[in-house]
A and B are shown apart, each in its own frame.
Chain A
Amino acid sequence: NAGVTQTPKFQVLKTGQSMTLQCAQDMNHNSMYWYRQDPGMGLRLIYYSASEGTTDKGEVPNGYNVSRLNKREFSLRLESAAPSQTSVYFCASSENRGELLAIFYEQYFGPGTRLTVT
């Protein structure tokens, strides 16, 4: 039971290049999330997916696209990388099903992908 896994662990891109960050979870969770972590700013939500086939924007979605390929996998794509996207990216998942009464479900985080754009 690996929990939340992310690939790659590290990546260096040149400005304008594209890449996809992969995330998978084996906990049969419904919801998945992508965050970026920058010094002095904590984690900020980029996109989230409430279920297979649905995605919604978070706080900082510009410059990113996502795909919820199936229940296990949620990928984050940078179409044309910029230096401002240098960050550590975390994927998370939870059992959250979006009930009307907001019940707490813990989010479980992956180990992160450290991305540098030069």
Chain B
Amino acid sequence: AQSVTQLDSQVPVFEEAPVELRCNYSSSVSVYLFWYVQYPNQGLQLLLKYLSGSTLVKGINGFEAEFNKSQTSFHLRKPSVHISDTAEYFCAVSETTDSWGKLQFGAGTQVVVTP
């Protein structure tokens, strides 16, 4: 079984400042890794994914994440945030051996961007 830990439940950040959201996972098998974003009163939208290959992955809206296998981490970063980045962000994993692609989510990190 796998688990996902998001180390910060809330991250306040000023507009145009950088932000990093931390995610650690544990699994006995190899995993695919994802970050989803949930804007207020909406469903989840895929921000980026790591399946294989380069450990630095780029997603939509200027976000990127780096997969670190030795530290079992997949931290999300953005160099300069906008007010519109205010949302909840979820890290998720799926075991590569799971034919049905079931997702295990972290608890979420609420990002609040202020002017």
Residues of A whose CB lies within 8 Å of any CB of B are 4, 31, 33, 40-45, 48, 50, 56, 58, 90, 92, 94, 96, 98-100, 102, 104-107, 109-112
Contacts and interface: CB of A to CB of B under 8 A. Distances in A.
B43 A111 contact: yes
B42 A42 contact: no
A115 to B, nearest CB: 15
A22 to B, nearest CB: 15
B44 A104 contact: no
Contact of B9 (A40, A99, A107, A111): A40
Given A42-B107, A104-B32, A109 B99 contact: no
Contacts of A112: 42-43
B46 A48 contact: no
Interface in B1-19: 4, 6, 9
B90 interface: yes
A100 B100 CA distance: 9
A93 to B, nearest CB: 11
Nearest to A91: B43
B86 interface: no
